[in-house]
Amino acid sequence: MIDNNQMDQLFAQARQIADKAYAPYSKFRVGAALLCQDGTVITGVNVENRSFGLTICAERNAICAAVAKGHLRFAALAISTPDSVEPTGPCGACRQVISEFMPPNTLVRFAGSGEKQVNTTVGELYPFDSLHELMDK
């Protein structure tokens, strides 16, 4: 089980990597830090494109990088949006990909530059997940 100190450290990594985001159009940087079950942390950033549909979100970037390194089991995810005071949760596409690789009880933290943080789970972010619902039958 992940404790609050570990989530703080994971979020700090998400916040730090957000500075490397490529967001010249929206000016909205996002950093993600993904804790693998073996303790490895994989980070990702959003990478924009002038054709906004081709933009890659930080969360999916981190998951894809982890999969490319052979990681398929994850313990927690932290997301930082430093250009927003308020916490900004993952988009719908990211929630779909997150749910593909993480069970509903996986911890997720997201926050902006303000003091408010959201601590939740994949199941709370994506409550009607047919993949896991069908697997339970």
Q: Which of 59, 86, 100, 115 is catalytic?
A: 59
- Return the exposure string of 100-131: e unless at least 16 CB atoms fall within 10 Å of the residue's CB, then b: ebbeeebbbbbbbeeeeebeebbbebbeebee
* Partners of 121 in the β-ladder: 107
Respond yes or no: is residue 48 known to be catalytic.
Answer: no
Pairing of strands 107-111, 31-36: unpaired
CA-to-CA dists, residue 36 to 43, 53, 60, 69, 73, angstroms? 11, 28, 14, 11, 6
Catalytic residues: 59
